[in-house]
Structure 1
C-alpha cells in the first residue's frame, strides 16, 4: 500500500510547555484529510538542515489531536538538531510539510498493570498512552526530565503513579533512569511495558526487561528515539545493526 503524500500544515500556535519542552500546534487546510484519533502516532517533519543546506526528515510524535489541529512537542537538548532549530525559529503563519501519520505504539489494553518508561523525547508518547488508559488502570511511569521545572501535570488514572527522574544532561548518565526502573515493583503477572529513550539506555533496559523480567514482544515494546552524538540518519543505522545482532 502506497504511503500518502506529505501534507502542508500551518503553524497555528507556539508555546513553551516547560523550560525544556516547546509545543508547536499545526493546523490549516492540510488537516482536512488527516485521519482521526492520532494522539501518540508518529509523523515525519520535513525541515531545513543548515549544515547540509538541504531538507531532512525527522520523526516526531503527535502529542494530542483535536478536530482541526495537532500538537507536536520538541525536547530542547543542549545541542539542537534541524527539527528543534526549526521549532525554535518558526512563527505562527509558517508552513511545513508533514508525512504520516504512522501507526501508534500503544500499551496492551488487556494488561493488569502498566509500566511506561522514557526520557523527554518519549514524554509526548507516554503522555498520550497514559491519557488513553481506562480510569481503572494501575501502573507506573518513570520519566527522565532535564529539570524539576519540566514536570508536567498529566491526566492519569487515580491508581497510576508517575515518577520523575532529573538528569540535566540526557544521554550522559543512563544509570539514573535504569536504576529507578529497576527499583519499581512489578505488581501483576500480566504486565504491559512500554519504553523509549536514548539508544544506550534502551539497550540496558531491554536487557533488564528480557533477561531479568522475562518479558517478550507479547508484553514489551521498547525502542530508542535518539542516540547521543548521532544524527537521525546514523541513529537509524545503529538501530538496524542492533536489531540484526539481537535477531542473530
Structure 2
C-alpha cells in the first residue's frame, strides 16, 4: 500500500495546556484523509527549508474528532522549527501533514501496567491510559518541567500517577528509572510502555531487560528525542541503537 500524500491542514484553535505545553487543533477540507481511530499515532509536520529537503518533525495525535485533531507541543527555550511554528502561528494558518504512522500501544492483556514518559511522550502515554481497561492496576511515572505542567488525566482508578519535576529536561537521565525502582513491583505479568529522551530510554530498557528479565513482547520502549541534537540526527542514533539488537 502506498503512503498517503501529505495534506494541508488548517489551525482551528490553539490552547495553552500548561506553561510548557501548547495544544494546536487542526482541521480543514483535507482532514477526512486521516483515517479514523488514530489517537496516539504519529504525524509528520513538514516545513519548507529553502532549496534543501523540507524539514519533517514527528508529533502524536492526542485527540481525534470527525473534523479535527489535536497535536500537543512541548515549549522550551531552544525551540525547534515545530515548537516555534506552534507558538508563532495563528488560527487560519496552514501546515503540511504527512502520515499518519502506526500506533504504539501498551501490551494487553497484562496483570498490571507500568507507563513512563517525559513531556514529549505525555500525549501518547495519555491515550494509552485512556484505553486501559477499567480494572487495570499499576503505575504511570511522568517527568514534567515544573509542577504547573501537571495535567488532568483520564485513567483507571487502579493506576497510580507519579509526577517528577525536572527543570532541565534531558540532564537527569536517571530520574524516571530512580522513581520506578522505588515502586512496589507487582505480581504477575506486566505491560510496559515508555517514551522519553534517548539516554533515559536506554537506562529504562537496561533495567527492564537485565534486572527484571522481561520479554521484549511485553515492552514498548522508545526515545522521542536526544539531548543536544535535532530530530534528523536523533533518527540516525536510533537506527544505530536498533542495529545493536538492544531493543
TM-score range, shorter chain: over 0.9
After TM superposition, list the pairs within 5 Å mapping 1:1-248 onto structure 2.
1-48=1-48, 55-246=54-245
Please state whether the residue corresponding to 2:232 is helix, strand or coil. helix
Give the whole-Å Cα distance in 2 for the aligned partners of 1:208 and 1:238: 20
* TM-score normalized with structure 1 length: 0.95
Structure 1 segments of 4+ aligned residues over 4 angstroms from their partners: none
Give the whole-Å Cα distance in 2 for the aligned partners of 1:57 and 1:156: 32
Give the whole-Å Cα distance in 2 for the aligned partners of 1:65 and 1:188: 35
What does the per-residue CA deviation read over 1:194-224, in whole Å, with 9 as the maximum and x for residues that have no partner? Answer: 0110001111111001000111221011010
Q: How has the CA–CA distance of structure 1 residues 49 and 113 changed in structure 2, closer, same or farther, with 3 Å as cutoff?
A: farther
Give the whole-Å Cα distance in 2 for the aligned partners of 1:198 and 1:73: 17
Is the CA contact (8 Å cut-off) linking 1:49 and 1:82 kept in structure 2?
no
Return the offset for 1:186: 2.2
Is the CA contact (8 Å cut-off) linking 1:48 and 1:82 kept in structure 2?
no
* TM-score normalized with structure 2 length: 0.96
Q: Where do 5+ consecutive residues of structure 2 fail to align?
A: none
Return the offset for 1:137: 1.1
Return the offset for 1:138: 1.1
Q: How has the CA–CA distance of structure 1 residues 213 and 224 changed in structure 2, closer, same or farther, with 3 Å as cutoff?
A: same
Q: How has the CA–CA distance of structure 1 residues 49 and 150 changed in structure 2, closer, same or farther, with 3 Å as cutoff?
A: farther
Give the whole-Å Cα distance in 1 for the aligned partners of 2:153 and 2:58: 23
Q: Where do 5+ consecutive residues of structure 1 fail to align?
A: none
CA RMSD in angstroms comes to 1.6
Give the whole-Å Cα distance in 1 for the aligned partners of 2:42 and 2:146: 26
Please state whether the residue corresponding to 1:140 is helix, strand or coil. strand
Q: How has the CA–CA distance of structure 1 residues 54 and 244 changed in structure 2, closer, same or farther, with 3 Å as cutoff?
A: closer
Give the whole-Å Cα distance in 2 for the aligned partners of 1:200 and 1:117: 14
What does the per-residue CA deviation read over 1:31-83, in whole Å, with 9 as the maximum and x for residues that have no partner? Answer: 12321111111111112459x97630000000111111110000112311111
Give the whole-Å Cα distance in 1 for the aligned partners of 2:58 and 2:212: 30
Please state whether the residue corresponding to 1:214 is helix, strand or coil. coil
